[in-house]
Amino acid sequence: MNIGSKIKRLRMENGLTQEELADRCELTKGFISQLEREMTSPSIATLCDILEALGTSISEFFEEDSDEKIVFKAEDVFIKNDEEANMTINWIVPNAQKNEMEPILVELNSGGSTYKHTPHPGEEFGYILEGEVELIHGKRKLIVKKGESFYFIPNKEHYIKNRVNRVSKILWVSTPPSF
Question: What are the residue ranges spanned by the domains of the chain?
Answer: 3-62, 74-175
Pairing of strands 102-108, 168-175: antiparallel
What is the side-by-side order of every strand in the sheet holding 132-137?
Answer: 140-145, 132-137, 158-162
Q: Which CATH architecture has domain 3-62?
A: Orthogonal Bundle (1.10)
Say how far apart CA 154 and CA 122 lie, in whole Å. 7
Separation between Cα atoms, residue 160 and residue 130, nearest integer Å: 14
Global pTM value? 0.63
Structural element, H or E, at residue 174:
strand 168-175
Query: pLDDT tens digits for 18-62?
Result: 999 999 999 999 999 999 999 999 999 999 999 999 999 998 898
Q: What percent of the chain has pLDDT over 90?
A: 85
What's the rounded Cα separation, in Å, for the pair 142 and 126?
13
Dist CA 155 CA 137 (whole Å): 9
CB 131 within 8 A of CB 75: no
Which pLDDT score is estimated for 179? 67
Assess contact for 94 and 103: CB atoms under 8 A.
no
Helical axes 3-13 vs 29-36, angle rounded to 10°: 120
Question: The domain 74-175 is classified under which CATH number: 3.30.1300.10, 2.60.120.10, 3.90.550.10, 2.30.30.100?
Answer: 2.60.120.10
Q: Which pLDDT band holds residue 70 (cuts at 50, 70, 90)?
A: confident
